[in-house]
């Protein structure tokens, strides 16, 4: 992989897989507390992250670059209460957004329109992802960790 940009794309490919790994760990964390709906939400989120990774992988092959897998960091196991768990997820998405924005800047610097165009999809996706998590956090803050509200919301998220 020649350019800084392509190296960055490969790094992002790995980071999307790592994101999926983190969401699986969040799923385990809430499932252990008996919340199958929240767990379903996080498993689905993990699946989406693997799709984001796949999209990058396919692109790299399309431009004749072989993707390289790196080691995945062991994810955190305890994410605190429900609100805290989703807040950590939002912080993670903000980090993803930051990384995508840096890659867009780099693609413009390197004048690589193929990559700028690809990344536009990720820019839009991040707006949606952050908004989803903010909406959930707002609801959870109103529920205030009360079991009655949590169970109702759990069944709603289970239908995601």
Binding site for ligand OFO (CB under 6 A): 16, 19, 49, 52, 93, 96, 125, 129
Nearer to ligand OFO, 38 or 150 (CB): 38
Query: Burial, 130: exposed, middle or buried (Cβ in 10 Å; 0-12, 13-18, 19+)?
Result: middle
Residue 20 near residue 49 (C-beta atoms within 8 A): yes
Based on CB atoms, which residue is closest to ligand OFO, 96 or 137?
Answer: 96
Percent composition of the chain: helix, strand, coil (DSSP 3-state, to 5): 80, 0, 20
Contact predicate 120/3, CB 8 Å: no
Answer whether 38's CB lies under 8 Å from 30's CB: yes
Smallest distance, ligand OFO to C-beta of residue 96, A = 4
Q: Which is nearer to ligand OFO, 105 or 124 (CB)?
A: 124
Question: Shortest distance, CB of residue 139 to ligand OFO, whole angstroms?
Answer: 19
Cβ-based neighbours of 146, under 8 Å, separated by 6 or more: none
- CB of 52 vs ligand OFO, minimal distance in Å: 4
Nearer to ligand OFO, 99 or 143 (CB): 99
Q: How far is the CB of 92 from ligand OFO (least distance, A)?
A: 7
């Amino acid at each position: 992989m020649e350019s800084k940009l392509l190296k960055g794309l490969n790094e992002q490919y790995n980071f999307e897989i790592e994101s999926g790994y983190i969401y699986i760990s969040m799923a385990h964390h809430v499932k252990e507390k008996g919340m199958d709906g929240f767990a379903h939400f996080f498993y689905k989120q993990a699946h989406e992250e693997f799709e984001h990774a796949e999209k990058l992988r396919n692109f790299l092959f399309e431009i004749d670059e072989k993707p390289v897998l790196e080691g995945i960091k062991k994810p955190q196991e305890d994410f605190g209460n429900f609100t805290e768990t989703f807040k950590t997820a939002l912080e993670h998405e903000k980090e993803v957004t930051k990384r995508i924005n840096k890659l867009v800047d780099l693609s413009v610097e390197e004048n690589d329109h193929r990559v700028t165009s690809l990344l536009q999809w990720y820019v839009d996706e991040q707006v949606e992802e952050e908004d989803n998590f903010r909406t959930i956090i707002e609801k959870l803050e109103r529920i205030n960790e009360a079991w009655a509200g949590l169970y109702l919301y759990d069944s709603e998220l289970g239908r995601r």
